Structure 1
């Protein structure tokens, strides 16, 4: 289990609580973690997460984050199980990527985020079509995709 991915999820959850209404569902949080990873790769060429993103039926998923929040089902996540305190753990670039994603997308529901992250042409769809269910989505694919869409004002599907 990746404690960094769980720390990323907890940080984004706390940022959403500060900036929005705080009712973040598991699907929403899982997608926000993925998008933050994409922002980090697209803006800085470095991964935010230290574990792979997988192509699941409803879009990209970081398994440890899913496992940590699945008990909430469709209810708001109160806390990410197993996370460690993140203070001092992240670089300024990582904080910028996570803050941007939480601030821009933190009030968008999980269904819309899921739809946006698995439209045709996304890293999820390209991986799903080539390699099938639960395949690892390469960071190169994510980086190239987010490098292109970061020039747009919002995620291409929102």
Structure 2
């Protein structure tokens, strides 16, 4: 997931889109969720090296959240490496770079897995992992 996050950040910088930790988490989730027409199942499994967890503001990859937590709600800055393996996802990444973060949060809260596990959230977090099939559930933003 680290290389995937880095690729999204590199793409955001290339297209001059500011990205916060919250927006990065949601872009990672929705790009992967909508990737079935672009990636093989093996490629999706390769990206999904660490699961999303059910948190207050939707799915979060904890290691990436912790990595960028220092930025708070500010734009993530630094140099990030694009990855040629993920270039075919750029149109999806671009699409979600244009979506307001809290719109993605609200959309993620409509997904069955989050709704069915939201009771486990304590102090904004839970340790409930999304299985890849739940991330990919139906390939829509709902």
> Which category describes the TM-score, using the shorter chain as reference length?
0.7 to 0.9
The higher relative CO (CA closer than 8 Å, separation ≥ 6) is in 2
Do the aligned residues in 2 keep the contact of 1:55 with 1:127 (CA within 8 Å)?
A: yes
1:33-112 matches, cutoff 5 A: 33-40=28-35, 42-43=36-37, 44-45=40-41, 46-47=44-45, 48-79=47-78, 85=81, 87=83, 90=85, 94-97=86-89, 99-112=90-103
Separation in 2, partners of 1:15, 1:138: 26
Separation in 1, partners of 2:49, 2:108: 20
CA offset digits 1:58-109 (Å, max 9, x no partner): 10001111011111111100138xx7x4545x3xxx4323x13321010223
Q: Could you say which residue in structure 2 is the equivalent of 1:27?
A: 22
Structure 2: stretches of 5+ with no match in the other structure:
none
> How far off is 1:22 after superposition?
2.5
How many aligned residue pairs are there?
A: 132
Do the aligned residues in 2 keep the contact of 1:31 with 1:110 (CA within 8 Å)?
A: yes
Normalised by the length of structure 2, the TM-score is 0.79
Matched, 1:141 2:134: yes
**RMSD of Structure 2 on Structure 1 (CA):** 2.2
Q: Could you say which residue in structure 2 is the equivalent of 1:124?
A: 114
Normalised by the length of structure 1, the TM-score is 0.72
